[in-house]
Amino acid sequence: LRLIFILVLMSTSAVGLFVSKAILTHNFALMGLNWNLFLAWFPVFLALYAEKKDSFITVSAISMLWLLFFPNAPYIITDLVHLTPQGGNLYWHHQIMIYNYAFVSLICGLLSLYWIQKIWTRTFNPRWSIFFTLSSILLSGYGVFLGRIERFNSWDFFTHPMALLKYVLHSFSNSTA
């Protein structure tokens, strides 16, 4: 509970930096950082929900949903591409704001990964837990690629499943994937 409280404070700090930038500049550019931060919290909520479950099937189902949203947490690091040279003090504000979002999101992801690994160790066994954790990290990298380069989103799994499946199958022959 203390960790969640700290993450809420850190998230509030990131959003506060965005709001102050928007007020100072009358510019709402990078509003998407807030949505990305919101999505970074999904794996945390799913891990907390899975923690209360004991059934192999339920934990597996929640874990697959967790895996679908997990790449959103490290994805925000790729938002560092929005750092552009600017004059004055706003340059530093802009940098600190984006780094704050990236840091909070990464912590959300790592914390949820830690919790999911503990749940898998308890529900299945340590070997399956390690396998799932390592697979999640690799698949997350691929998910970040799908999001940043190919512009797919986690919800495309539900809204455009055939387009996503078609690209995933095609990507096996794509060396950049």
Rounded average pLDDT over 69-86: 87
CA-CA-CA-CA torsion sign (20, 102, 142, 156): negative
Work out the mean pLDDT of the chain and round it to a whole number: 92
**Which pLDDT does position 9 carry in this prediction?**
97
Q: Sort 40 into a burial class: Cβ within 10 Å, 0-12 / 13-18 / 19+.
A: buried
**Which pLDDT does position 176 carry in this prediction?**
74
Rounded Cα distance between 68 and 89, Å, is 38
Is residue 87's pLDDT more than 70?
Answer: no
The H or E element spanning position 65 is: helix 56-69
**Which pLDDT does position 171 carry in this prediction?**
87
Is residue 114's pLDDT more than 80?
Answer: yes
CA-CA-CA-CA torsion sign (99, 140, 165, 149): positive
Is residue 86's pLDDT more than 90?
Answer: no
DSSP labels, 124-177: S-HHHHHHHHHHHHHHHHHHHHHHHTS---TTHHHHSHHHHHHHHHHHTT-TT-
Nearest alpha-carbon partner for 101 in 76, 72, 70, 71? 76
Rounded Cα distance between 129 and 97, Å, is 35
**Which pLDDT does position 127 carry in this prediction?**
97
| Each residue's pLDDT tens digit, 57-67 | 999 999 999 99
| Each residue's pLDDT tens digit, 5-22 | 999 999 999 999 999 989
Judge whether 106 and 73 are in contact, CB under 8 Å: yes
Better pLDDT: 106 or 155: 106
| Each residue's pLDDT tens digit, 117-134 | 999 999 999 999 999 999
